[in-house]
Amino acid sequence: MNSSKWEIGPIFRALMRNKVGAVLIAIQIAVTMTIVVNSIFIILERAELMKRDSGIDEANSFYLTTTGFATDFNAQSTTTEDLEAIRNTPGVLDAIQINAIPTSGSGWSMSFQTEAGEGLEDEGAAVYMIDENGLNTLDIELIAGENFTPSDIRWRAPGSPDWPETVIITKALSESLFPDENWQFALGKTIFISSNQPMIVKGIVDKIQAPWVGWSDLEHTVLVPEKTLFNSNRYFIRAEPGQRDAIMPEIEEMLASSNKGRIIRGMRTVEETRERSYRSDAAMIKILSTVMVILTIVTGLGIVGLASFSVNRRKKQIGTRRALGASQSAIVRYFMLENFLISTVGVVLGAGLTIGLNVLLVNMFSLPALDWYFVPAGMLVLWLVGQIAVFGPAKKAANIPPAMATRTV
């Protein structure tokens, strides 16, 4: 490659003598890069959050709420009969009563610690009350210890402060409770709920998310062997693959007709629940994507505008260059190079602003710090946008005839 044909020095010096338009475009590129790169980072981060596996069989599961209102409503017998009827319904894989739904946004949380006593270090965890069918219904993998047996399951009366003697915890909670040990260490150990009530870790499951998707300890979860005697209860039902939508109305109708002293409400798939929980994140992704696209287009159009203006203003100059021996490709190269220099100033400034905005977001909104490669990737994209945008005006400039040099107007 012949370096003399790359007129970097003369172009740069010419830009320095006529810099208002170029500086404005460089600033626009810098601002666009700052917003686009941080937006992409936020979008990818949100998308990553939304992709997290809840640990349960979302595709085939649904749940509903049954609320007894009759004066003779018996929660225990109703729950027992309901679960038996649901489990015997063709197309149902398994079912349980549960106090909260993963990713739903509403549930129970308690603190757990490895030693009894007030004021000691503890870990918060979501609590799901399930029976011996819980692991199968939720499709959670037991990776150590044992499942609950029917004899472990007890009925919890409203307002009861007591907790069962055994508990199954997630691997993530095990690692947090015993940070210096491997995750199997918790098995068989006694942990304490509400500061001093002992529970023996009977099993460890791989994963089940808490109800709150925005919580940093989303996989801090415990399963306790309990069914509740509340008037209002939830049933979590796992269907055979592909059967969910067919059996939902069937189950609803069966429960409604089996006991006239209660109502059935809030029937919803787990997929829908996940979609609702992440709706604000999905909206943010859409908004940021739209802003990014608009900003990039506006910047591209700005470059097209400046380059077109520049070509029109310099027709005679371009004709003179052609007369002096510039080929059409040399004229295209000139404008591409000029834009590259402007874009370089813009993206270098943009790199600084991008990091600055990220630091601000980290400090103000506890967002994670930008991965290093986002900045060079953003620079590359904006360079490319500039080159693509300037190509049209550059081609137009190259078509200016050399005879333009001798025209008097």
Partner 1 sequence: MLKMTDVKKVFRTELVETHALRDFNLQVNEGDFVAVTGPSGSGKTTFLNIAGLLETFEGGQYELDGQDVSNLNDKARSQLRNEKIGFIFQSFNLIPDLNLFDNVDVPLRYRGFNSAERKKRIEESLEMVGLANRMKHLPSQLSGGQQQRAAIARALAGQPRFLLADEPTGNLDTKMALSVLELLKTINDFGTTIVMVTHDQHLAEQAKRNIYVRDGKVSESGEVVSLENAVNA
In the complex, what is the shortest distance from the CB of residue 213 to partner 1, in angstroms, rounded to a whole number? 57
Say whether residue 182 binds partner 1 (CB under 8 A). no
Say whether residue 392 binds partner 1 (CB under 8 A). no
- Bridge partner list, 127: 108, 222
Q: How far apart, in Å, are the Cα atoms of 226 and each of 20, 188, 203?
A: 73, 19, 15
Say whether residue 401 binds partner 1 (CB under 8 A). yes
Say whether residue 276 binds partner 1 (CB under 8 A). no
What CA–CA distance (Å, rounded) separates 186 from 205? 12
The DSSP letter of residue 252 is H
Instruction: Measure the N-to-C terminal CA separation of the chain; round to a whole number of Å.
Output: 37
Please report which residue ranges of 279-365 form alpha helices under DSSP H: 279-313, 315-323, 328-365
Cα 343 to its chain centre, rounded Å, is 32
Select from 231, 308, 317, 344 the one that contacts partner 1 (CB under 8 A): 317
Binding piece for partner 1, criterion CB under 8 A, among 12-20, 69-77, 125-133, 221-229: 12-20
Specify the residue, 190 or 317, whose C-beta has the smaller distance to partner 1: 317
How many residues belong to the site for partner 1 (CB under 8 A)?
29
Say whether residue 408 binds partner 1 (CB under 8 A). yes
In the complex, what is the shortest distance from the CB of residue 404 to partner 1, in angstroms, rounded to a whole number? 9
Say whether residue 18 binds partner 1 (CB under 8 A). yes
In the complex, what is the shortest distance from the CB of residue 316 to partner 1, in angstroms, rounded to a whole number? 7
Report the relative pairing of strands 221-228 and 154-156 from DSSP bridges. Answer: parallel
In the complex, what is the shortest distance from the CB of residue 11 to partner 1, in angstroms, rounded to a whole number? 9
Say whether residue 23 binds partner 1 (CB under 8 A). no
Report the relative pairing of strands 123-130 and 221-228 from DSSP bridges. Answer: parallel
Cα-only R_g, the chain: 32
In the complex, what is the shortest distance from the CB of residue 14 to partner 1, in angstroms, rounded to a whole number? 4
- How many beta carbons lie within 10 A of that of residue 117, not counting itself? 9
In the complex, what is the shortest distance from the CB of residue 10 to partner 1, in angstroms, rounded to a whole number? 5
- How many beta carbons lie within 10 A of that of residue 276, not counting itself? 13
Say whether residue 4 binds partner 1 (CB under 8 A). yes
Binding piece for partner 1, criterion CB under 8 A, among 197-205, 217-225, 323-331, 370-378: 323-331
In the complex, what is the shortest distance from the CB of residue 25 to partner 1, in angstroms, rounded to a whole number? 17
Say whether residue 10 binds partner 1 (CB under 8 A). yes
Specify the residue, 18 or 194, whose C-beta has the smaller distance to partner 1: 18
Q: Which long-range contacts (CB under 8 A, 24 or more apart) does 196-201 make?
A: 196/116, 196/117, 196/118, 197/162, 197/163, 198/116, 198/165, 199/163, 199/164, 199/165, 199/166, 199/167, 199/224, 200/165, 200/166, 200/167, 201/145, 201/166, 201/167, 201/168, 201/169, 201/174
Say whether residue 160 binds partner 1 (CB under 8 A). no
Q: How far apart, in Å, are the Cα atoms of 232 and each of 75, 111, 296?
A: 8, 25, 52
Say whether residue 5 binds partner 1 (CB under 8 A). yes
Say whether residue 14 binds partner 1 (CB under 8 A). yes
Select from 114, 328, 344, 387 the one that contacts partner 1 (CB under 8 A): 328
Say whether residue 320 binds partner 1 (CB under 8 A). yes
Say whether residue 403 binds partner 1 (CB under 8 A). yes
Nearest to 21 by CA among 311, 294, 296: 311
The DSSP letter of residue 368 is P
In the complex, what is the shortest distance from the CB of residue 358 to partner 1, in angstroms, rounded to a whole number? 37
Binders of partner 1 among 192-251, rule CB under 8 A? Answer: none
In the complex, what is the shortest distance from the CB of residue 23 to partner 1, in angstroms, rounded to a whole number? 15
């915890």: which residue's tokens?
169
Say whether residue 17 binds partner 1 (CB under 8 A). yes
Task: Note the residues at the interface with partner 1 (CB under 8 A).
Answer: 2, 4-5, 7, 9-10, 13-14, 17-18, 316-317, 320-330, 401-403, 405-406, 408
